[in-house]
Chains A and B, each alone.
Chain A
Amino acid sequence: MSTGLRYKSKLATPGEPDDIDKQYVGFATLPNQVHRKSVKKGFDFTLMVAGESGLGKSTLVHSLFLTDLYKDRKLLSAEERINQTVEILKHTVDIEEKGVKLKLTIVDTPGFGDAVNNSECWKPITDYVDQQFEQYFRDESGLNRKNIQDNRVHCCLYFISPFGHGLRPVDVGFMKALHEKVNIVPLIAKADCLVPSEIRKLKERIREEIDKFGIHVYQFPECDSDEDEDFKQQDRELKESAPFAVIGSNTVVEAKGQRVRGRLYPWGIVEVENQAHCDFVKLRNMLIRTHMHDLKDVTCDVHYENYRAHCIQQMTSKLTQDSRMESPIPILPLPTPDAETEKLIRMKDEELRRMQEMLQKMKQQMQDQ
């Protein structure tokens, strides 16, 4: 009961401590406890960026997280680009802000869409995403689950070129290959070369084509009906501006006496954080401030579960082919199973089967009654 006094809660009113103590349980403080624990543990987030080269991907990542992950990057020359294949590069950085730690992993995909012949250029990327799922699956089914590292890709920012009239065949191919595996957030890159009417038309066009090709991009969750009007309005605006038209910048320029992150042109200054200029702020808020956790949840609950179900189905169909007993817990073919672990696994198998049979018997008994 003393917990009710330690953490201030809305229910406690001064002047009637005894009565409140009797009625008040005190679990309204749970969110604070969760908060403290997560702050201690820290968060991790894996973001993938994909798109043709020259669309400003690294600049945008720099602007979003205000860290230069690409300090030592060397741009490939034209000769090197001719023979390049799609690579997967991971950069990890630990960011801390107001005591909250974030382990951010950026997965880059240089070489995507750059060759003359780009058939199946998304295959290395789908293989990578599947590999991370498989790794997590193994870890989850393993015996020591204390320190599972979650390397699954939580979100993929896909950069659409602003110069096209909508989606290109490569864009459609990529999104269709990955929409069931990862949360895709399409973006219109380098939006400072478009005037407002062009941006509007392009967004409409992209939305139509996404519907037409049946691509499932990341959907923002519906906000609860008891949220306040402001929040609902924000949520509506967010949904209406998808796909976001973004601009990134590595430089800080002076505009109207203030130092802002932007791009200096002879005809004016584009401010990255000005909502009237581009949707960068909306993207940043969505990605980091409001929807980061939802992205992780959807990855765990939807994409990973799909993968897991698919995997188990494949394995059980193989098992029945080998005419072994079906086990409720999928046994992964461990690379080097030693005799003791196998015995242990078999014992647990038997136990579980016995428990299942008991449950069946109990159910039948209840039905008979």
Chain B
Amino acid sequence: MDERQSPSPCSSRPSSPRTPPCEMLGSVGIEAVLDQLRIKAMKTGFEFNIMVVGQSGLGKSTMVNTLFKSKVWQSSLPSLELPMPQTLELHSMTHVIEEKGLKLKLTVTDTPGFGDQINNDKCWDPVLSYINQQYEQYLQEELLITRQRHIPDTRVHCCVYFVPPTGHCLRPLDIEFLQRLCRTVNVVPVIARADSLTIEERNAFRSRIQENLKTYCIDVYPQKCFDEDINDRLLNSKIREQIPFAVVGADREHLVNGRCVLGRKTKWGIIEVENMAHCEFLLLRDLLIRSHLQDLKDITHNIHYENYRVLRLNESHQLPRGPGCVNLAPASPGQLICPGPGKVRRRANKDSKEDEG
């Protein structure tokens, strides 16, 4: 998909008055364009970058494995010999998954140690700085004179935030984190380990969370202001009613009524992950993969990334002049969060940048 032809950025997208379709005198074959797009997409494949944030033990790695039905992520247990990480470290891993000839390059970023310390002040800084770093990297690539044909996209398209199933309401830590992150990235909050809540408790918890989100003006994905038309609005409001989804993850299969299902086997029954009566995992999967994956990428590119870009360009007080490249001053600490103490492993494309410099 050609991303350079995306519509104009930032706030409201005014819909241009549609020209009335003219009458067709015969079949031209325009719909073949769709086939061409499909063939091209199959060749180039898709990229998707997802970040999972939450306290340890909430099932983040299991959820990722369940979503993509493969051992994308080895859940890492902190060993007894090593001390608990004192600062938040982010780990990224990339896998290529293939389905029906279509390749998906999936990058999962994990945040071990989030919210686990005694003092969790500013534990969101490393996450924010990682996200901004990815935007910065993309920006630098975009501003080069000779750009790559296909700029590698490491920007975080979706951040799944795992809320622990206390059953009460959002904790102060959750609120602080969500408030800050919703402005920079698409956030999808989920109720983790939902098999500890009964259906009534789950619904009560969900409505309290929705109230909290409204009180604190936390705009989670799908954001209301980005609905393009009435169909979108209808579809998205149905989703908005059910956010946050109560999910359960499992990577083991069990036999239920002769079928092999992914689930958790307890002494009192088997929790089927893909059974809508048990949990809402299917809704999360459909949202992230089957229906809104491209939308997540579009909003990241058109809105979040463009916001970042405008901020940076205004800072440097130098707008692009003609064919020359822009020498951006380093980001001032006041405006943006500088890359903090978080250590990140990312693919380095520094060589090409330093040549142009």
Contact = CB atoms under 8 A, between A and B. Distances in A.
Interface of A: 52-55, 75-79, 81-82, 114-119, 121, 161-166, 168-170, 173, 190, 192-193, 195-196, 208-209, 212, 263-271, 276-277
B278 to A, nearest CB: 5
Given A78-B215, A116-B121, A193-B193, A269 B268 contact: yes
Given A81-B169, A82-B172, 20 more contacts: A53-B168, A54-B167, A54-B168, A78-B212, A81-B172, A114-B171, A117-B119, A163-B55, A163-B57, A163-B164, A164-B57, A168-B116, A169-B118, A173-B118, A193-B195, A263-B198, A264-B198, A265-B269, A266-B277, A277-B268
B284 interface: no
B119 A119 contact: yes
Nearest to A168: B116
B120 A116 contact: yes
A81 B168 CA distance: 11
B265 A195 contact: yes
Contacts of A75: 168-169
B80 A212 contact: yes
Interface string B172-197: 11011000000000000000110110
Interface size on B, as a range, is: 35 or more
Given A115-B172, A163-B58, A264-B198, A270 B118 contact: no
B198 A265 contact: yes
A246 to B, nearest CB: 13
B4 interface: no
A166 B172 CA distance: 23
B78 A165 contact: yes
B266 A169 contact: no
Contacts of B57: 161-165
Enumerate the 9 nearest inter-chain pairs by beta-carbon distance, A residue then B residue, closest first.
A54-B166, A268-B269, A193-B196, A268-B268, A267-B269, A163-B57, A164-B57, A117-B119, A82-B172
Summarize A's interface: helix, strand, loop or mixed: loop
B33 interface: no
A170 B118 contact: yes
B252 to A, nearest CB: 9
Given A78-B170, A78-B215, A119 B118 contact: yes
Contacts of A269: 268-269
Contacts of A193: 165, 193, 195-196
Contacts of B22: none
B1 interface: no
A78 B193 CA distance: 21
Contacts of A168: 116
Contacts of B167: 54
Interface string B253-288: 000000000001111111110000110000000000
Contact of A54 (B59, B78, B164): B164
Nearest to A269: B268
Contacts of A268: 266, 268-269
A165 B56 contact: yes
11 contacts: A54-B165, A55-B166, A75-B169, A77-B169, A82-B175, A121-B118, A165-B57, A165-B77, A195-B265, A209-B80, A265-B198
